[in-house]
Amino acid sequence: MNSSPDAAHAPDRVDWAAYDAVLFDLDGVLTPTAEVHMRAWADMFDDFLSGHGGGDTSAYTERDYFDHVDGKPRYDGVRDFLASRGIDLPEGSPDDAPEADTVCGLGNRKNDAFNAVLERDGVAPFPGSVALLDHLRGLGTRLAVVSSSANAPAVLEAAGLADRFETVVDGRVASEQGLPGKPAPDTFLRAGEICGASPGRAVVVEDAVSGVRAGAAGGFGLVVGVDRGAGHDVLTDAGAHVVVPDLADLVPAAGSDGSPA
């Protein structure tokens, strides 16, 4: 058994061998699909707001994404954004057509837009994230993906990463098992359980404020924030122990810790 991890790490001194499992968010952490999600949300909300008569219908902004949508289950993101604008829509059901002006209808409309972009353009993983995955594989660390998106398996397949992870706890799994989404820690806790790692011996890697809060709430041994736009201080305030702009910054130099680089 490895020695107990210390949560207060400098970025260049993370002792990955001190952890049994690393639990990665997907969009914005492993792949640049967060940008696709951002565009899909903006297109959907701008179209909706332009034809809606009540509440604050000013243009949707990038700040709206980070404050209300980023990292959350799709319908939660719709619900929280509408609440921020004083707009009240029926909940509807997950079977609603994308054209329906309901919470679920808007969520389904956004999902269709995301899938269209993914099919058209494909996706390549962040090189720095692949470098860290390679390092962790050399250590024999157990790996999982924890994503609010129901599209996680398709994204992993498109990015050539599907065989890297022991389990994927995504939006569909959360719905089937009745797990509340981020910022609740339940999906991360479930992934850690599948990997046989207690929270204190597992790492959460997130770029979204809601995901970082989930890692902090779950009592995980290390919460890594990847700053793809949320902001270093924002992620730190949400509970990240370490914040880096790219996961390549957390790959030890060859021979620096006596383990594979």
State the catalytic residues. Answer: 25, 27
Residue partners of 182: CB distance under 8 A and separation at least 6: 71, 72, 73, 148, 208, 210, 211, 213, 214
Spatial CA neighbour of 161 closest among 191, 131, 190, 181 = 131
Are 211 and 232 a contacting pair, CB within 8 Å?
A: no
Please list the residues that pair with 226 across neighbouring strands.
Answer: 244
Would you state the structure tokens that stand for residue 89, as one six-digit string?
Answer: 């829509």
Rounded Cα gap, residues 36 and 51, in angstroms: 23
Rounded Cα gap, residues 221 and 186, in angstroms: 15
Phi, psi of 196 (to 5 degrees): 75, 30
State the DSSP code for 65: I
Alpha helices in the chain (DSSP H): 33-50, 62-64, 74-84, 103-121, 127-139, 152-159, 171-177, 186-194, 209-217, 232-238
Residue partners of 183: CB distance under 8 A and separation at least 6: 71, 72, 209, 210, 211, 213, 214, 217
